[in-house]
Amino acid sequence: MLVADTHVPQRARDLPAQLWAAVEAADVVIHAGDWVDEPFLDRFEARCARLIGVYGNNDGPALRARLPEVADVDLDGLRVAVVHETGPATGREQRCDARFPGRDLLVFGHSHIPWDTVTPAGLRLLNPGSPTDRRRQPYATYMTATVTGGALVDTVLHQVLRAPRA
């Protein structure tokens, strides 16, 4: 599961039940930063089988002490990097090729805008958007994907469904 820019409790008091269910069901959760609250990170870690996370620009000293700026991990042969910011959309593919050579997948956040492209060097770039702050997007979002034999398959962008108001 891929998520970023949760901003709890600034943008939302908590994550929607749909997202907690996805977190608990995932073998691995990748969070690309902007947690904003250390107790939220504690709760998140407690509900994950395995968490790969980084800090974002809205994360203070306590979160930066616990999380790296960039995470590098091998998931079943898939070479993955995670970072919060990649800069403007224009030129992103070329910048990421230069900054993350030898990786197969880069998961990033910051813009709250879902992104799915492949760079000239073959690096897959994924931004899952935000499950709590959709900004200029029609829906709040997160992603799921499967890694099999070193390949990323079945990548799905999910809309976060809001509970109907009583």
- Residue 9 has a pLDDT of 78
Residue 133: partners with Cβ closer than 8 Å, 6 or more residues away: 5, 7, 11, 12, 112, 140
Q: Could you report the per-residue pLDDT of 84-129, keeping only the tens digit for each? A: 999 999 999 999 999 999 999 999 999 999 999 999 999 999 999 9
The whole-angstrom separation of Cα 162 and Cα 75 is: 32
Is the pLDDT reported for residue 165 higher than 50?
no
In the chain, what are the domains? 2-159 (3.60.21.10)
The closest of 80, 79, 78, 86 to 33, measured between CA atoms, is: 86
Can you give the pTM of this predicted structure?
0.94
Q: Would you say 131 and 150 are in contact if contact means Cβ atoms under 8 Å apart?
A: no
The whole-angstrom separation of Cα 110 and Cα 5 is: 6
Which three-class secondary structure state does DSSP give residue 119? Answer: coil
> For the residues of 38-93, what is the DSSP string, one character each?
HHHHHHHHHH-SSEEE---TT--HHHHHHS-SEEEEEETTEEEEEES----STTHH
Q: Could you report the per-residue pLDDT of 29-43, keeping only the tens digit for each? A: 999 999 999 999 999
Strands 78-83 and 105-107: parallel
Q: Would you say 18 and 33 are in contact if contact means Cβ atoms under 8 Å apart?
A: no
What average pLDDT does range 21-33 have in this prediction?
97
The whole-angstrom separation of Cα 94 and Cα 122 is: 11
Please list the residues that pair with 147 across neighbouring strands.
Answer: 152
- pLDDT averaged over every residue in the chain: 94
The whole-angstrom separation of Cα 111 and Cα 131 is: 12
The whole-angstrom separation of Cα 24 and Cα 43 is: 12
